[in-house]
Structure formats: structure tokens, C-alpha cells
Structure 1
Amino acid sequence: MIHSVTDLNFKERVLASSLPVLVNFEAPWCGLCKLIQPTLIQFYDRWDEQIKLVNINADENFKLASTYKLKTLPTLILFTNGRIVDRLEGFHSKEALRADLDRMTRKATLNWQIGEKAMPMQIDWRLVRTE
């Protein structure tokens, strides 16, 4: 299940989460936000055990929208161990979104598995084979 998060429970549900969390900042009037929702649901079904997906209404949670300096909707921000590890703004195509979500998830789960005390490393995901 995809949960809604607010200013009041953001720290508990996102920053303190034991799993990586993909935050989907959206708004009811945002057509692109509605367009990506089916892809996000497919993504969630695929990665359910390894990552959490939450929605935040940017209009109703202005403090969070301001804190994370939203410039456009939808904006997806991936948190691991309470830190931002990736960010995706806007929407280009379903295929590009799927590829970006998979890349972000691999990055988050790798960071999560090695822990926050490990030395950060750069990985060129274009060179990594997934199949």
C-alpha cells in the first residue's frame, strides 16, 4: 500500500524509516502526477520488500515542499538512512521513468545495505548489467 505522508509524520515515516523511501511530491491539479501514478504503482509492486513509496500533497504540505525546494511537480526524492540519495523532477516518458526508478532503487538499496558509515562510492549505472 502506498501511504500518504504529511508535515506531521514525515520524520517518522521517511527520515527514520528502516528501508529506503521514495517520496512522490504531487498535487491534485497536476496532470503529470496522475499520469505517472500507474507506473509508480507497478514500481511499488516490484520493489515492495526493498523500498517504501509514499505520496505527499505539495499543496497541503507547504513546509515540506519549501524545505526540499520543489520547482516542479511531480518531484520524486529518494531517501536512504534519512538522507537524500537521488532526485527526479518532471516527467519525460514512461520508459525513461521506469529506467530512472530502477536506477534510483539500485542506488538506494546499495547505500542502505552497506550502511551510512561506509565510504560513499560512485557507480556508473550505464555499465551495470541488470539481467
Structure 2
Amino acid sequence: MAGNLRSVTDETFADEVLKSGKPVLVDFWAEWCGPCRLVAPVLEALAAEHSDKITIVQLNVDDSPRTAAEYGVRSIPTLNVYRDGKVVKTVVGAKPRPALEQDLHEFLR
């Protein structure tokens, strides 16, 4: 999906997400997922505006099913926020920007 969102894979997940010094929001998505495409521009904007506070990355569940399975991702989009190697917040489903910003408020301040 490009822009401000980097992709992570099963192979890069531990280094880029679990070992990160700041919170990381992982967007579990797939090409065929309509709601995933709706939330991507919102995440792009949040990534651009809040890159100093949170890193936002995408993980394609079709290309990297091991990580999605490990974290119990059953529906997409699923947005997990990781801090210090642990999931500290989960948001399931596409939401409009104001609702997503409210859900993620503590990480965007």
C-alpha cells in the first residue's frame, strides 16, 4: 500500500515490531479485503502525522500467515498495537478516522 506505511513479514516482525523502542501499530490486512483498503488511507495519514510517537506498519496475512496465526488474527483488518514486545491494544474492523483516533488516543498524544 506504500507511502508512510512499511511492510513487515513473518521474517522481519520480531526485529521491526517486537524490538521497537516505541509503540508499533500493525495493520493485518490482505489485497482482497475491501475494509482493509478503506482503513489504509486513514493509517497513512496517522503515520505521517504521528511518526514521532508511533510506527505504523502493515502485515499481509496471505504472505505472512504465521505471525497472523500466532496472534490469533481471525478477521481483517485487525490493528494490534505492540509496546515492549506485547499487544497492548487491538482494534478489529475498519473504522472512520475519528473513531480510530479515539481508539488510539493514548498512543497519538
- TM-score, length-normalised on structure 2? 0.89
Deviation for aligned residue 1:102: 2.3
What is the aligned partner in structure 2 of residue 87 from structure 1? 90
Give the number of the structure whose residues are more often strand, by fraction.
2
Kept in 1: contact 2:39–2:95 (CA 8 A): no
Tell which structure's C-alpha radius of gyration is larger: 1
What is the aligned partner in structure 1 of residue 44 from structure 2? 41
Alignment RMSD: 1.5
Q: 1:20 aligns with which of 11, 17, 23?
A: 23
Q: % of aligned pairs identical?
A: 35
Q: Which has the higher contact order (CA 8 A, sep 6+)?
A: 2
Aligned partners of 2:52, 2:98: CA distance in 1, in Å? 23
Q: Which runs of 5+ in 2 are unaligned?
A: none
Aligned length: 106
1:83-125 Cα distance to aligned partner (Å, 9 max, x none): 111101112433312221224x15xx7xxxxxxxxxxxxxxxx
1:28-76 Cα distance to aligned partner (Å, 9 max, x none): 0000000011111111122111111110001111101110111211000
Aligned partners of 1:92, 1:33: CA distance in 2, in Å? 10
Q: Which amino acid is 1:96 matched to?
A: A
Aligned partners of 1:93, 1:47: CA distance in 2, in Å? 17
- TM-score, length-normalised on structure 1? 0.75
Q: 2:64 aligns with which of 44, 53, 61?
A: 61
Aligned partners of 2:87, 2:101: CA distance in 1, in Å? 19
Question: Deviating runs (4+, > 2 A) in structure 1?
Answer: 91-95
Q: Which amino acid is 1:21 matched to?
A: V
Q: Secondary structure at the match of 1:96?
A: helix
Q: Which runs of 5+ in 1 are unaligned?
A: 110-131
Q: Which amino acid is 1:17 matched to?
A: S
Q: 2:99 aligns with which of 91, 96, 121?
A: 96
Q: 1:10 aligns with which of 10, 13, 22?
A: 13
